[in-house]
Every structure is written in C-alpha cells, then in structure tokens.
Chain A
C-alpha cells in the first residue's frame, strides 16, 4: 500500500489483555491490536484505505460478498474480546486516520464510554425472531382442475384469504405477548425491522425481530421462557439466537427500550 493505512475500530473496552488479540484476524485478514488512551482500549487494526477508505467503502458496502466477509471479520474480533471483557462494539466501517486520532477520540469520549461499559457490564444480547407458523395448504397439482364449480372455487378462495388474514392477526397478537413477557426478563429490549426474505431465505411472514439484553446468569431462565411461549403460541414459530455481544444496546446515548 502506498498511502498510510487507516485504523479500523471494532470495540472499546477497559484493560484488554493483548494476548486475546494476538491470534485474531481482523477485516481483510489484518492483525488486531490495541490502541490505549484515557484509561480505555480501542481494539483496532490497520486497513488499506484503497479498500476501506470512505470512497471505497461506499462502493464495497454494496457488494454482498465483501459485506458478508467484512461483517463476519468485524464480529469475530468483537466476539472474541466480549468473551473476556465488557465491550462497547463499534458500528461497522468506523475508520480513523491513525492512532493519534483514535487516542483523541477515546480521551474525548472516555466518560460516555465508561458509562456504557458500566451499564452493559457482563450482559449479553439474545435475539428472538418470530415467523407466522405455516400450515401449508396442499395445492392441486398444476393443470389439474379443483373439484366443484367456479362458484365453489371462489368460495374456497375467499375462505383461504379470510384464514390468512385471521392467521396474521393472531400471529401479531402472539408476537406482542411474547415480546412483552420476554422484555420482563431483560435489562433492556428493542426491536429490529423485519428481515428481508431475500436475505433470510424465509418465506413465512416475520412478525418479531427482537433483541434482549440479559444479565449473565439469566440466560437459562430466558431460554425456558422462550420454550414455554413457543408452546403457548402455536400461531408463530420462535427462534432464539445468541449470546451476542451487546450490539443492539451499545449506544452511548440514552439506552434503548
């Protein structure tokens, strides 16, 4: 690379053991290191600005393979540190011109980072997704006429549409009940927008895409609560993911939820 590298940030923490970072590969296979200032440590790596500079990022973020690889590398580093320490994850694509700029930022933001680290502590994020539970209706084979007259067909079609509408209404009510109960187990909760079916490969309608911030000891109770809710709400299909680093609760502004 001809120009000086940029510094990609993954997370901010206190007192990161550099041995944790030693074997990690960051974005683009870069070596991961610590930048310390203001009593805090930024977990960072040097990146080629020809690929990770602002102009290049605007282009590369629209390349799904590039985005997937970068998101996975970003996550891998944050997750490795989060297993040992409270971390404040950074949004993807936060790049500084050098260690001096990172140090200036850490010092200026130290108080708000400390407040966030105190709030998050050893808490982890768990995801719960709910989809409309499919009761697939057997469709007549192509070219084979259904039984009965045209009027009977229209009546059946109307009944199908009514059932579909009722199913969605019941699923939405179930999703609200699930979110309310699970929020009661969590220190904080929030909802992401529904996922794109093209990306999730999921054809059922998504009715909940929530995140919950849980104390270290409460994951077992939470998982049992999800299992119980799945049994009580047959209109929806629940899926639990996690533990995640607390991405959805990392804002140094007011906590969500």
Chain B
C-alpha cells in the first residue's frame, strides 16, 4: 500500500476541492495523479543505453499494476472519505 495514497484517502480527496496546487512548488505539492499523467506519458522518449527496453515500454502500463494493487485497498466505501460539497470545487 502506498503511504501517499493512504494519506490522500484520509484527507477524503479534498485536494480536488480547490484550484490545483501551483506546480512551481508554491502553496502545496502537486497531486501525484496529475504528476504521473505527465512524467509517465509526457516528456521526450529517448532510448537511454541503460534503459533501452524501458524506452519502448508504455510506463503507464508498467506502473498500472502498482497503482491498482496499492489503491484498491483504499477504494472501499469506508476509505473514500466524504464527498466534497458540489459547487465548492469549481475552479476559481
């Protein structure tokens, strides 16, 4: 289980109740889920001579098992926290 995800679940996903954190390290940390979208699927793919095969692999797929197995334990209704108030989550 991921400690970071567990902490997120305890917060009830309230990171989404406001404008996302400043990616430039301002007020808060960026959400892991948004970061993984970018560092696993974005960026230039170069075949490093050490990680030659990994450059050809879809990293999202490689890491998917980790995400699902780590997260599934948290996805139960008890762990999902309360729903945030609709309307309060709009971008400002």
Contact = CB atoms under 8 A, between A and B. Distances in A.
Nearest to B4: A68
A131 to B, nearest CB: 8
A95 B23 contact: no
Given A49-B50, A96-B49, A192-B41, A202 B25 contact: no
Given A62-B62, A72-B35, A79-B23, A96 B71 contact: no
Contacts of B42: 89, 91, 247-250
Interface in A234-257: 237-245, 247-252
Contact of B8 (A9, A116, A201): A201
Interface in A174-221: 192-193, 195-203, 209, 211
B23 A242 contact: yes
Interface residues of A, number: 79
A26 interface: no
A227 interface: yes
Contacts of B20: 127, 239-242
Interface string B77-92: 0001101001101111
B1 to A, nearest CB: 8
Given A61-B59, A92-B40, A109-B46, A227 B83 contact: no
A201 B8 CA distance: 7
Interface in A126-176: 127-129, 131, 133-136
A192 B34 CA distance: 10
A223 B91 CA distance: 8
A128 B22 CA distance: 13
Most B CB within 10 A of own CB, among A65, A97, A135, A247? A247
Contact of B67 (A52, A74, A128, A198): A198
A111 interface: no
Given A57-B51, A94-B55, A197 B75 contact: yes
A224 B83 CA distance: 26
Contacts of B41: 192, 248
Listed from nearest, the 5 A-B pairs whose CB atoms lie closest are: A241-B20, A198-B71, A247-B42, A201-B13, A247-B38
27 contacts: A53-B51, A54-B50, A61-B62, A61-B66, A62-B66, A64-B70, A68-B2, A72-B32, A75-B39, A83-B24, A90-B43, A91-B39, A95-B48, A134-B86, A192-B41, A193-B60, A198-B74, A199-B32, A199-B33, A201-B13, A201-B81, A237-B86, A241-B19, A241-B20, A241-B34, A244-B38, A245-B23
Interface of B: 2-5, 8-9, 11-13, 15-16, 19-25, 29-46, 48-55, 59-60, 62-63, 65-68, 70-72, 74-75, 80-81, 83, 86-87, 89-92
